[in-house]
Amino acid sequence: MEEMKQMPLIGDKAPEFQAQTTKGPINFPSDYKGKWVVLFSHPADYTPVCTTEFVAFAKRNDQFKELNTELIGLSIDQVFSHIKWEEWIKEKLGVEIPFPIIADNTGKIGAMFGMLHSVVSGTQTVRAVFVIDPESVVRAILYYPMNVGRNMDEIVRLVKALQVADKEKVALPAGWPNNEIIGDKAIVPPPNSVQTAGERLESAKRGEVECYDWWFCYRKL
């Protein structure tokens, strides 16, 4: 009986694969060791929503680079289709696509990452986003439907938030750094015992953290 493969979940190692892209062959994730990666799929080349998304990603490529993050696109198209589409975008819209696009014409990689949703379309990848850290661990997964484009500023924010949370050992609130309650401050992990709960309130009295209660404390970054 053939073993069923499950798509990677948050906290799993990203699947390994080799692929042809518009920038040449890649060996994933070893070629991206030490970098963050945003691996994203789109339904098809030469489609309006996908075109707007690629322009948006391209215009934010420098922001991702500043975060030590590489973009990789993917769809079930031949590499020559990707190349001609890139040329069309550059000629008609004046935007050059600086990142590689995987030619997953067999659908193998899309299936490996759970990008093919048969209820929607068995032959096109949905708008999936996988944020993968320098240790090749999947840290976040986003899915969008065929008829709604993604918000690339949110993806930039998500990568930055993951990096800050890792570095500072904190959690970050909704909409960070523009949260309605605590602004750009970070949430201190809640205590896990009666003793540490009391210590947290004492820390608040000393001005080391701010608290609404022992379980909801925050601090400046």
Q: State the pLDDT at residue 159.
A: 98
pLDDT higher for 122 or 160?
160
Whether residues 140 and 188 fall in one domain: no
Average pLDDT for 167-182? 98
**CATH number for position 60:** 3.40.30.10
pLDDT at 23 over 50: yes
pTM of the model: 0.92
pLDDT attached to residue 3: 41
From 49, 50, 138, 159, active-site residue? 50
For residues 198 and 142, membership in a common domain is answered with no
Known catalytic residue at 50:
yes
- Whether residue 73 lies inside any domain: the answer is yes
Is 115 within 8 Å of 125 (Cβ atoms)?
yes
User: 123 is written with which tokens?
Assistant: 């032959």
Number of domains in the chain: 2
- pLDDT of 196 reads 87
SS (H, E, C) the chain: CCCCCCCCCCCCECCCEEEEECCEEEEECHHHCCCEEEEEECCCCCCHHHHHHHHHHHHCHHHHHHCCEEEEEEECCCHHHHHHHHHHHHHHHCCCCCCCEEECCCCHHHHHCCCECCCCCCCCECEEEEEECCCCEEEEEEEECCCCCCCHHHHHHHHHHHHHHHHHCCECCCCCCCECCCECCEEECCCCCHHHHHHHHHHHHCCCCEEEECCEEEECC
Whether residue 1 is predicted with pLDDT greater than 70 in this model: the reply is no
Asked whether the predicted pLDDT for residue 5 surpasses 60, the reply is no
Give the model's pLDDT for residue 208.
92
pLDDT per residue over 95-109, tens digit each?
A: 999 999 999 999 999
CB 47 within 8 A of CB 82: no
Q: What is the reported pLDDT for 2? A: 38
Domain boundary (150, 184, 213) is at 150
103 in the same domain as 41: yes
When the pLDDT of each residue in the chain is averaged and rounded to a whole number, the result is 93
In this structure, the answer to whether residues 48 and 83 fall within a common structural domain is yes
